[in-house]
């Protein structure tokens, strides 16, 4: 973003704040927390610029306990928490805690008016139409696709290994290609051809947006985000037409997807293929979604742009999250050859010899070392969505399972908040909470899943008391899709390959961006990168 434009917007944000006499209630003064480095940015800039995701969260947890006070834009005080009871309360309250305006508007600019952006009644309408496409039987039907794609990727890896034995592979890039091919076929019966080396302008635009706007955003970008929080929705929606470079990038991203999705949608509508003809037997998400949409009343039916936005949302969300989770899993297993070997034996035992067909869903679910052990521990220790932001729509009282000491020295058991108060949820912090996960919560230890007592944990999230897929009405609609994909792909690769660290043992940073992505310390030019030595397993 041009500096003069950023400074102009920053000045406008300050002017609007003064002219509209923004008043923030100081009801959180007794909650201890870090000081604010900036009236305009509060603690936002330092949170987005952590050297490693969670460094600040963990330090503040040690100093203040599981709940503390931070500062947002324009000096506003907000609650930041890892407390299980507080999180359960917030998400049970549903739409009484809405997504923070600035970050939610960024979702709109990048991905359009889809389910990841919609709030309140709009969100309920989107989810109702989308639910049939994510029914359990529908998701289970995709497992053969996951396995076929994994086997195809395995062939590419074998070729790379034969060409350059011992040379590290950037496994995250390969896995992202495979994930893109999976979501293309599963979501709207489209072949991206990523594993076949086809040009992928959509993926390039997604990576460019992450690199330019979401990875270590500048103060100019944060000033624009601060301004977003002051504008009414009808004005916010017009900002997508702003001529600045960053907004032009968002438009190119949306245009890249529309070039793929709109012809597919319109061709089906024109031929009435959603109800009859050669798509009758198809079970891709778009087909099921459109059929469900046609049963809705005209007043609640999704429009064309909303339907296309769902596909855009799913493509962007599903590609990087599963690929990144698998990358972190293989990295942890590369450091633990014995655990990796035990999983390989489990997978081969399930295969039962030279059986060419894939695993059944029941066989995949029965792999306890791979699933409840390594998959769950990776989701806990390396959550791709490491922070979640909410704002209270009404006054509320947030209960705490772990009281904290206030500035006056007294114990605080609950926190009264006023409408408009921000609540910053540290997923990475909750996933390292010793009271929830044990004294070794800061270690990747898959054995914990054989000893955890769920009865002693606060019920939270939609899977294994983890917040990896969020919770409440905004919980990830495709969480089972992601779990099955991780399990199916990991089973194929761990059966066929051994993973080891590169000989120079690079430090892989947990870099905060749109997701917690791996980056090689000292090599920012690589972007997201997870180099591992991969060899064919004996």
Instruction: Considering the domain delimited by 3-536, tell me its CATH architecture.
Output: Orthogonal Bundle (1.10)
Over its C-alpha atoms, the chain yields an Rg (Å, rounded) of 23
pTM, entire model: 0.91
The tokens of 479 are what?
């969480």
What pLDDT band is residue 26 in, cutting at 50, 70 and 90?
A: low
What integer is the mean pLDDT of 504-531?
92
Residue 9 pLDDT grade (very low, low, confident, very high; cuts 50, 70, 90): low
Q: What is the structure's pLDDT at 12?
A: 54
- The pair of structure tokens assigned to 382 is 């390396």
Does the structure show a pLDDT above 50 at 526? yes
Question: How confident is the model over 165-192, as a mean pLDDT?
Answer: 93
Distance CA 347, CA 333 (A): 15
- Give the confidence band of 21 by pLDDT, cuts at 50, 70, 90: very low
* Mean pLDDT lowest among 91-95, 190-194, 414-418: 190-194
DSSP 394: S
**pLDDT over 50 at 494, yes or no:** yes
Determine the Cα–Cα distance for residues 276 and 352; give it in Å rounded to an integer: 41
Do the Cβ atoms of 486 and 325 come closer than 8 Å?
Answer: yes
53-66 residue pLDDT tens: 999 999 999 999 99
Answer whether residue 489 shows pLDDT above 90.
yes
Q: For residue 7, what pLDDT band results from cuts at 50, 70 and 90? A: very low
How is residue 475 annotated by DSSP? S
Q: In angstroms, rounded to a whole number, what is the distance separating the alpha carbons of residues 314 and 43?
A: 31
534 DSSP β-pair partners: 499
For residues 44 and 50, the answer to whether their CB atoms sit within 8 Å is: no
**Tens of pLDDT along 155-177?**
999 999 999 999 999 999 999 99
Residue 15 is predicted with a pLDDT of: 54
Q: What is the pLDDT of residues 358-368, one digit of tens each?
A: 899 999 999 99
pLDDT of 420 above 90: yes
252-299 pLDDT, tens digit per residue, is 888 888 888 888 888 767 766 555 544 445 678 888 888 888 888 888
Residue 453 pLDDT class (50, 70, 90 cuts): confident
From CA 192, how far away is CA 256, in angstroms rounded? 13
Non-local (6+) Cβ contacts of 499 within 8 A are 171, 330, 331, 333, 334, 340, 532, 533, 534
- How many C-beta atoms surround the C-beta of residue 509 within 10 A? 18
Quick check: 16 pLDDT over 80?
Answer: no
Note the pLDDT of residue 280.
Answer: 46
pLDDT of residue 234: 87
Mean pLDDT (the chain) is: 89
Do residues 393 and 353 lie in contact, with contact meaning Cβ atoms separated by under 8 Å?
Answer: no
Integer Cα distance of 254 and 102 in angstroms: 19
Of 15 and 253, the one with more pLDDT:
253
Provide the pLDDT for residue 287: 86
Neighbours of 252 (CB within 10 A): 15
The pLDDT score that the predictor gives to residue 454 is: 82
């Amino acid at each position: 973003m041009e500096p003069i434009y950023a400074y102009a917007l920053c000045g406008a944000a300050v002017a609007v704040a003064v002219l509209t006499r923004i008043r923030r209630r100081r009801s959180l003064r007794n909650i201890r927390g870090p000081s604010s480095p900036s009236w305009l940015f509060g603690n936002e800039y330092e949170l987005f610029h952590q050297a490693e995701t969670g460094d600040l969260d963990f330090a503040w947890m040690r100093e203040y306990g599981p709940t503390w006070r931070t500062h947002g834009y324009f000096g506003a005080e907000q609650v930041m928490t890892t407390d299980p009871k507080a999180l359960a309360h917030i998400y049970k309250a549903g739409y009484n805690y809405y997504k923070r305006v600035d970050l939610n508007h960024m979702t709109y600019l990048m991905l359009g008016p889809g389910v990841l952006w919609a709030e309140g009644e709009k969100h309920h309408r989107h989810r109702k139409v989308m639910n049939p496409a994510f029914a359990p039987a529908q998701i289970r039907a995709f497992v053969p696709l996951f396995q076929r794609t994994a086997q195809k990727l395995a062939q590419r890896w074998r070729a790379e290994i034969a060409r350059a034995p011992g040379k590290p592979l950037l496994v995250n890039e390969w896995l992202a290609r495979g994930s893109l091919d999976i979501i293309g076929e599963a979501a709207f019966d489209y072949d991206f051809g990523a594993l076949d080396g086809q040009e992928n302008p959509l993926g390039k635009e997604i990576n460019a947006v992450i690199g330019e706007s979401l990875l270590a955003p500048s103060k100019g970008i944060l000033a624009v985000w601060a301004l977003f929080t002051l504008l009414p929705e009808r004005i916010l929606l017009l900002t997508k037409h702003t001529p600045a470079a960053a907004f032009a990038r968002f438009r190119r991203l949306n245009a890249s997807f529309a070039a793929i999705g709109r012809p597919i949608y319109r061709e089906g509508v024109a031929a009435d293929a959603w109800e009859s003809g050669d798509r009758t037997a198809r079970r891709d998400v778009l087909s099921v979604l459109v059929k469900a949409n046609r049963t809705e009343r005209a007043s609640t039916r999704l429009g064309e742009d909303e339907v296309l936005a769902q596909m855009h949302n799913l493509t962007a969300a599903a590609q990087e999250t599963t690929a990144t989770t698998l990358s972190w899993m293989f990295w942890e297993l590369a450091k633990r050859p014995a655990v990796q070997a035990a999983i390989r034996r489990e997978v081969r035992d399930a295969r039962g010899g030279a059986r060419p067909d894939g695993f059944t869903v029941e066989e995949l679910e029965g792999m306890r070392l791979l699933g409840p052990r390594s998959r769950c521990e990776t989701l806990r220790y390396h959550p791709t969505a490491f922070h979640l932001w909410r704002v209270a729509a009404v006054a509320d009282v947030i209960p705490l399972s772990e009281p904290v000491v206030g500035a006056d020295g007294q114990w605080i058991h609950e926190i009264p908040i006023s409408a408009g108060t921000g609540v910053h949820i540290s997923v990475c912090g909750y996933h390292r909470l010793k009271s929830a996960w044990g004294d070794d919560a800061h270690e990747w230890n898959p054995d914990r899943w054989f000893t955890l007592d769920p009865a002693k944990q606060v019920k939270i999230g939609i899977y294994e008391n983890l917040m990896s897929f969020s919770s409440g009405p905004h919980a990830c609609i495709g969480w089972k899709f992601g779990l099955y994909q991780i399990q199916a792909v990991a089973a194929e690769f761990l059966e066929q390959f051994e993973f080891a660290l590169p000989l120079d043992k690079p430090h892989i940073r947990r870099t905060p961006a749109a997701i917690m992505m791996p980056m090689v310390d000292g090599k920012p030019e690589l972007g997201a990168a997870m180099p591992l030595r991969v060899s064919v397993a004996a």
